[in-house]
Amino acid sequence: MFKKMCAAALLCGAMAAPTLAQKTPWSLGFSLANTGVSHPFENPVEPGSSSGIPGGYGGILEKNYGVRRYTVEGLLQFSLKQVGQLRLRGGYSLRQTEFSSVYGSPERQPVSRSTNRQTARSWHFAPGFIASHSLGKFNLNAGVEIPVYFLKPLESYTTWVDLTSTESGISESWGFFPGGFSFGMGPVAGFSFQPDRWWSIGVEVRSAWMFTRIEGNYKEQSNWTGSFVSQTGTAETYRNSSLSNLQAALQLRFML
């Protein structure tokens, strides 16, 4: 009899757990989005901008271009009754652009291959206030945020290969542009669908007017001359205020 009562209690507890969890004002979530703030020195060269071929130039025989730009985030939200939600989101952003080109002689024979990859990383957090209007299982959301970004140094990697030589030597160069920070304020808007009281999925768009400051030395390492060379360039300083990129995010949220 005691075992049956314990089993019944466990079953009732398991069925009631989701309902009980819905009564707390706290919720957690995850978000996947495109990047909103880029490194100001990010400026990838378009494929085929230079041949690296002395003398005659026969054109580009092959080129490849790829871009990876994404942001992953975590969300912590506290609901205020009949007012809205206080929210804190934070995460990691990656922007990577890579292209390679094969150049040919006037006779359309491969002569050289060049590759360039630029990588920008950043960490960020953004406190904000979000107001919601319920339409059945749908919610319309709008609010304001204060995003803060910590921009890591921008990395640039360039290679050049002579395809006419039997030797497989590669000339390489690594560039490191200084990092900094960016902060501002901007609007947030979106909608969510809540099929059950304990979770929801939605889409959000956001942008902000950002102030950005970058300061530090430019560093370069290369073996263009055959030997490894490392040097530090003049200090780079950048200050600017402008509108960030429009960011679209897919969100999944769980009520605690």
- Pair type for strands 154-162 and 170-177: antiparallel
Length of the chain, in residues: 256
Output the pLDDT for position 9. Answer: 40
Query: Quick one: pLDDT at residue 232?
Result: 80
The alpha carbon torsion through 225, 231, 233, 237 (nearest 10 deg) reads 130
pLDDT digits (tens, 9 = 90+) for 222-248: 887 677 788 887 777 889 999 999 999
Q: What is the pLDDT of residues 38-93, one digit of tens each?
A: 888 887 555 444 444 444 445 778 888 888 999 999 999 999 887 889 999 999 99
Which pLDDT belongs to residue 101?
86
The dihedral region occupied by 216, where left means phi > 0, alpha psi between -120 and 50, and beta the remainder, is left
In this predicted structure, what is the pLDDT of residue 168?
Answer: 64
| Strands, E assignment, 146-228 | 148-151, 154-162, 170-177, 180-196, 199-206, 209-222
Phi, psi of 137 (to 5 degrees): -85, 0
Q: Among the CATH numbers 2.60.40, 3.30.70, 2.40.160, 2.60.34, which is that of 17-255? A: 2.40.160
- Residue 198 CA to residue 204 CA, distance in Å, equals 19
Winning range, highest mean pLDDT, from 105-114, 121-130, 231-240: 121-130
Tell me, what DSSP letter sits at residue 11? H
Asked whether residue 16 carries a pLDDT value surpassing 60, the answer given is no
Q: Where are the beta strands (DSSP E) in the chain?
A: 26-33, 60-80, 84-104, 110-135, 138-145, 148-151, 154-162, 170-177, 180-196, 199-206, 209-222, 229-243, 247-255
Average pLDDT rounded to a whole number, residues 184-206: 95
Summarize pLDDT for 129-153 with one digit per residue, the tens: 999 998 889 999 999 999 999 999 9
The residues that bridge with 124 in the sheet, in sequence order, are 91, 149
Res. 197: pLDDT tops 90: no
Amino acid at position 161, single letter: V
Mean pLDDT, all residues of the chain: 83
pLDDT higher at 8 or 79: 79
In the chain, domain spans: 17-255
The pTM assigned to this predicted structure is: 0.80
User: What is the average pLDDT across 159-164?
Assistant: 86
Q: Which residue has the tokens 């007012």?
A: 83
Looking at residue 197, its amino acid is R
